[in-house]
Structure 1
Amino acid sequence: MRVIKYLISIVIISLFSTLKAKTPDLSIQLNALKEEKKQIEYCLKLDPRKDGAVDSNYLKEYLSPLLNHKNPGLKLTYYLLLADATSILFDQVNPVTNAYFDRAMEVADQSGVEEYRLLPLIRRGYYYFTYREISTALPYFLSASNLINDSNLDKVPLGAVHLQYSANFYGYIGNSAKALEYYKKAADYAPKDTRQTIDILNAIGVYYYRDSIYDSAEHYYKEGLKVAERTKDTVWMGILQGNIGNILLAKGDTAQAIVLSEMNVKTSLKYEEFKDAMRTLLGLAEIAVAQKRWSQAKAYLTQAEVYFEPKPFFLMYKTTAYELKAKIAQAEGNQKDAIYYLNQFITYNDSTQQQKDTERLQQATWNWETERFNLAITEAENKRKQDRFRDLSISLLLILTLLSITLLIHRSRQRIKIKSIKLEKEQLALLLEKELLDKELIKSKTEMKDFLLRIKENEKIIQDLERKLSQAQVNAQNESANEIQENLTQMLESHIMTDERWYRFKSLFETTHPGFFEELTLRYPNISENNLRLLTLSKLNLNNQSIAHLLGISLDGVKKAKQRLRKKIDLSIEN
């Protein structure tokens, strides 16, 4: 408790180790420090007082460069320093300080640096703790505890100081395990060979001593003593020697314990560490009573009582003093004083027990609040996980939906592209087919034209041969007539449209006159092939004589065939 009370009493002053070191321009000092963390630590150590008193207007003006500095953590520091200053000014919990802490938390949240969020949480919690509003302080320290586990403590400005604040608080509410955890973390981040290091090592030793883990307690006391000796800190040397004496006493080494304890008393008194001297003197008195050195025990008690104060903190020490006095008086045979001291012991012991019961009840309340807070945090975390899972599921569903839509669109586009390519191919094929058909049509028309031309030429030859044959017969030129007749017969035979020639011609005619035959066969299903030949040759505007020669029949045969056909299909065919 001595260590905790000591830390509480100097909490504000310990924040500002650079006393009156202000320069006309704070920016010059900050620019000399390249690292952002060191800049923040430099400012957090500034003394908020001017000429021994808090001047908030002066402080705001002096700290104004922090608001526009490129280091985002300095804006946070600005509001934390003003919170500390107003806390000193009001000397109690007040709305102005609360407002500065609120603003500091907003800046920390906006910075996006998780380690910065620890500063307003711990310092605000310690602010409430200093003024003993424990229930109000508890949520801030609990929130900080959750954050400490996930933070890189190397990035936390004055990390050891803030861990000490947390350790002090948890030690006060009776959570020794948590206090030890944070003291040990603080030891890792404290500057080497400083009073802060000694203080932390001693605090760890105290907690092990309370739990009767003497070897561990002695280890940390001795480590602290080594640092005190290296730094020539005689005050801490005396305190730690006294604490080691308590360990030796617990282990049964009374002689060495007395030597160390008396050295501690001298050192503590020399440097006005009266509470530590009082505590050590009571320990020496207990040893003297156990050894039945009554006079020496009374001398220790008389010297210790000088430093008693009318405060609840001293109840336990007054209880011990009156118990020892009662034992001494009874041993000396002074029954009247023994009864008086015993009654005083009972009175103080009842008050001490009542105080302890109150503390236990209070600690039980704080433990319940801690469990409730942790339960709320757990529920909030579970809800956050559920919400995150839900959001993730929705996001995944949306992504899958979008992906499916994208795939469908892509597939649709691919199908459209394939269809487009097929269509282009089909169009090209059609164009090619059309081109081929056009070429074939041109070719067929040319062939048809050539066919008609040959027919006409053949017809001229036949007519010429018939004319020559008639003249030869008139002139009785038998040999010549026979030759002409033979030529004429050959010509007629070659000119006659045989079945084979007809089908080749029919195919050619169908190309130049598409649908002609199909339409006739549809209108006149019983029409004969001979009739088709006659109609086709008539369609080409051939005269009856040419038709007769082609079909190998007489001119009268052609005329009669046309007459029969006209009656049959009621079709007018020109002669």
Structure 2
Amino acid sequence: MFGYLYPDLDKPIEINKKILRMTVYLRLFFFLTILCLSQHIYAADSLAMHVHTVLQEIPETEKTQLDQRVDAIQKAQPIQNPKALSAIYHSLLAESYAQIKDHKTPVSEWLFAHALSDIQNTNNTGLLIWVNTLYGYYYYKYNDYIHALPYFLESSRRIDSYPVRQLPEANQVLIKNAYFFGTIDDNQKSLDLLQAALEITPSASTETGQILYAIGLLYMKQEKWQEAESYFTRTLTSSQANADQLRYAKTLGELAILYDRRGETAKAISAQLENIAISHNNNDPRNIMYAQIQLGRLYLQHRVLDSAQHYLAESLAYAETKDYLKSYEKNIIELQLDIAQAKGDAARELSLRRRLEQINRHLSLTDGQSIVDQVNWETQKERIRWQLEAEQNKLKRASLLKWAWGAVSLLLALIIILLLITHKKRLKLQQVEFERKLLSFQIEKIESETTLSNTHNTLSSYQVYLKDKNEQIQRLEGEITKLRNNGSTSTQKQRFSLESLLKSHLLTDENWFEFKKAFMAENADAYQTILNCLPDITESNLRIILLLKMGLDNHQISHLLGVTTDAVRKSKQRMRKKYGERLDPVFNFETIED
């Protein structure tokens, strides 16, 4: 009604709406800015607080050693980037704090995570390997293999393509990675890392003894007794030359195991007692515990039960104080259980079994065998993924090279170049297809073996396993036959790769031992019948008979044993001729002779 007096009243108020939206946006922007700043300030305050916490607890002597390590790393590899320097300092603080507390701590994990975040924002691959190794070893030291895995996978992947001499603290980086891969049963990877560390470590360094000792342990784990003793003997020499008493003591402990294996019991006991005495002088309770376990086991084997119980009780007292020593506690209680059974102490036996059950539940979540197997499987899967990525990168590089070559080619040669590109591309695709197929065969083999392991090597699981093996072998032979008629160099290499994989499917001595053990456990009567009827049967003929009992035919058996079908048939005929009617309780005539 007052429009004629105030004409602007009739206009829409769009300007005010725009101002309102701008005000909302500005306020939102202001709020987000304040939030980001507050988070940054909080992170900085948290870092300062954690560093202060660590510095309050680290002794002055250790602070000096920490500064010396920082200086040594900088001398070996001059570093100007502040984030890289921060990553070094915080990693060492995290490591020192965990050593003081002797267990995993949120403070150490926060500092390690901050260090890793800093170093990932630089282009320093050597320091990235170093930080990942320290972070992974922190978890490994306290038997947390699941959390250690990603850091060791990352460090080992980069080590493969990095000059090891340029790594910060190179020999320790290699040793720590080797320890982890040895623990998860990747023995060859561990041995390669230790040999690389040995090459770059001066003989006058105490680390030489550490490496030789670790190699000896690897060989002993694989039951290569002569190689193990050779490296332990070299470790003794190195330890004496470098005045490394503790390494000398540990080596005596491992040699004691070899002495006892040769029947030199008195020498073995003497070596373990010397190991314990030196460890006491050097204040190493963990090695004292380990040596006492070995000595207790030694006394138990020779039925000196009171001495065995004494040393096992002392070792248990220390193992119970550390949560990460549960696997050792389990070993001790298992030995004490044997003692209780030998003494006929039923009450003690019941108490120990209950305690053992509790520990097994704990280990199933931390560092038990199932966890080791899981970490090993994850490692193999990750390596296969790396191989696939590498092949994809090769294809991309090859494609780029082709386009670059085509771009600079002369127009008159265009047809020829296109033909060459097409030909090369076809070869590349054939190679990629072959490698994909090869990886598929490898994965099937791993999955089959993993399934067998997970089902605890029962006869029923072996039937499935042997059937899968035969199917895989038949498919491999089919692929090899296809390649055999092609004489090109690339095809020959492919055939050699498939033949190598085919050989890995054969029934090895270790596979045969595990299969025979399962057969004896589940079908003891049948196995005893075989031995009673055929007391002088050879191991090779025993293999054929047991595989026949599993329902395999001549062709399938020949696949697994790596021989011809005729060889299997002739072996069966020779058995019939040699044993005659003695075979009848084992097999009827139709089964043993086609």
How does the TM-score come out when normalised to structure 1? 0.52
Question: In structure 1, what is the equivalent of residue 207 of structure 2?
Answer: 196
2:140 and 2:410 map into 1 onto residues whose CA distance is 54
Q: 1:341 to 1:132 in 2, by over 3 A?
A: closer
Note the 1:162-173 alignment, pairs <5 A. 162-173=173-184
Q: Please tell me whether the aligned partners of residues 322 and 341 of structure 1 are also in contact (alpha carbons under 8 angstroms).
A: no
Q: Please tell me whether the aligned partners of residues 176 and 207 of structure 1 are also in contact (alpha carbons under 8 angstroms).
A: yes
State the secondary structure of the residue aligned to 2:406.
helix
Q: Please tell me whether the aligned partners of residues 87 and 94 of structure 1 are also in contact (alpha carbons under 8 angstroms).
A: no
Q: Please tell me whether the aligned partners of residues 93 and 131 of structure 1 are also in contact (alpha carbons under 8 angstroms).
A: no
Question: In structure 2, what is the equivalent of residue 342 of structure 1?
Answer: 349
1:383 aligns with 2:392: yes
Mean alpha-carbon deviation: is it higher for 227-236 or for 81-90? 81-90
1:360 and 1:247 map into 2 onto residues whose CA distance is 24
2:146 and 2:346 map into 1 onto residues whose CA distance is 42
1:396 aligns with 2:405: yes
Q: How far apart are residue 319 of structure 1 and its match? A: 1.8
1:81 aligns with 2:89: yes
Among 73, 80, 89, the residue aligned to 1:67: 80
Q: Please tell me whether the aligned partners of residues 170 and 178 of structure 1 are also in contact (alpha carbons under 8 angstroms).
A: yes
AA in 2 matched with 1:118: I
Question: In structure 2, what is the equivalent of residue 319 of structure 1?
Answer: 333
Note the 1:98-497 alignment, pairs <5 A. 98-109=113-124, 115=126, 117-127=128-138, 129=140, 134-135=145-146, 137-310=148-321, 311=323, 312-327=326-341, 329-330=343-344, 338-351=345-358, 359-400=368-409
Q: 1:130 to 1:402 in 2, by over 3 A?
A: farther
Q: How far apart are residue 19 of structure 1 and its match? A: 2.4
Q: Could you report, residue by residue, the CA deviation over 1:415-436 in whole angstroms, capped at 9, with x for unpaired residues?
A: xxxxxxxxxxxxxxxxxxxxxx
Larger Rg: 1
1:99 and 1:267 map into 2 onto residues whose CA distance is 40
Q: Please tell me whether the aligned partners of residues 167 and 180 of structure 1 are also in contact (alpha carbons under 8 angstroms).
A: yes
Q: Please tell me whether the aligned partners of residues 286 and 324 of structure 1 are also in contact (alpha carbons under 8 angstroms).
A: no
Q: How far apart are residue 92 of structure 1 and its match? A: 4.3
Q: 1:356 to 1:99 in 2, by over 3 A?
A: closer
Q: How far apart are residue 396 of structure 1 and its match? A: 1.2
Q: How far apart are residue 299 of structure 1 and its match? A: 4.0
AA in 2 matched with 1:342: E
1:308 and 1:128 map into 2 onto residues whose CA distance is 18
- What is the Cα-based RMSD across aligned positions, in Å? 3.8
1:140 and 1:402 map into 2 onto residues whose CA distance is 52
Question: In structure 2, what is the equivalent of residue 19 of structure 1?
Answer: 64
Q: Please tell me whether the aligned partners of residues 325 and 341 of structure 1 are also in contact (alpha carbons under 8 angstroms).
A: no
Q: 1:371 to 1:400 in 2, by over 3 A?
A: same
Note the 1:425-574 alignment, pairs <5 A. none
AA in 1 matched with 2:282: Y
AA in 2 matched with 1:274: P
Mean alpha-carbon deviation: is it higher for 382-391 or for 358-367? 358-367
Question: In structure 2, what is the equivalent of residue 545 of structure 1?
Answer: none
AA in 1 matched with 2:378: E
Q: Tell me, which stretches of 5 or more residues in structure 2 are unaligned?
A: 1-56, 98-104, 415-594
Q: How far apart are residue 40 of structure 1 and its match? A: 3.4
Q: How far apart are residue 339 of structure 1 and its match? A: 0.9
Q: 1:356 to 1:185 in 2, by over 3 A?
A: farther
Q: 1:91 to 1:216 in 2, by over 3 A?
A: farther
Q: Could you report, residue by residue, the CA deviation over 1:26-77 in whole angstroms, capped at 9, with x for unpaired residues?
A: 9xx97xx9xxx77037x9xxxxxxxxxxxxxxxxxxxxxx537xxxxx9734
Q: How far apart are residue 314 of structure 1 and its match? A: 3.4
Q: 1:127 to 1:40 in 2, by over 3 A?
A: farther
Q: Please tell me whether the aligned partners of residues 167 and 179 of structure 1 are also in contact (alpha carbons under 8 angstroms).
A: yes
Q: How far apart are residue 161 of structure 1 and its match? A: 0.7
Q: Please tell me whether the aligned partners of residues 105 and 120 of structure 1 are also in contact (alpha carbons under 8 angstroms).
A: no
AA in 1 matched with 2:90: L
Q: 1:104 to 1:323 in 2, by over 3 A?
A: same
Question: In structure 2, what is the equivalent of residue 40 of structure 1?
Answer: 76
Q: How far apart are residue 323 of structure 1 and its match? A: 2.5
Q: How far apart are residue 212 of structure 1 and its match? A: 2.4
Q: How far apart are residue 300 of structure 1 and its match? A: 3.6
AA in 2 matched with 1:79: A
Q: Please tell me whether the aligned partners of residues 177 and 193 of structure 2 are also in contact (alpha carbons under 8 angstroms).
A: yes
Paired residue total: 344
1:271 and 1:83 map into 2 onto residues whose CA distance is 27
Q: How far apart are residue 245 of structure 1 and its match? A: 1.0
Question: In structure 2, what is the equivalent of residue 473 of structure 1?
Answer: none
1:131 and 1:165 map into 2 onto residues whose CA distance is 13
Q: Please tell me whether the aligned partners of residues 256 and 272 of structure 2 are also in contact (alpha carbons under 8 angstroms).
A: yes
AA in 1 matched with 2:386: I
AA in 1 matched with 2:397: R
2:351 and 2:394 map into 1 onto residues whose CA distance is 60
Q: Please tell me whether the aligned partners of residues 320 and 329 of structure 2 are also in contact (alpha carbons under 8 angstroms).
A: no
Q: Please tell me whether the aligned partners of residues 212 and 235 of structure 2 are also in contact (alpha carbons under 8 angstroms).
A: yes
Q: 1:399 to 1:22 in 2, by over 3 A?
A: same
Q: 1:144 to 1:22 in 2, by over 3 A?
A: closer
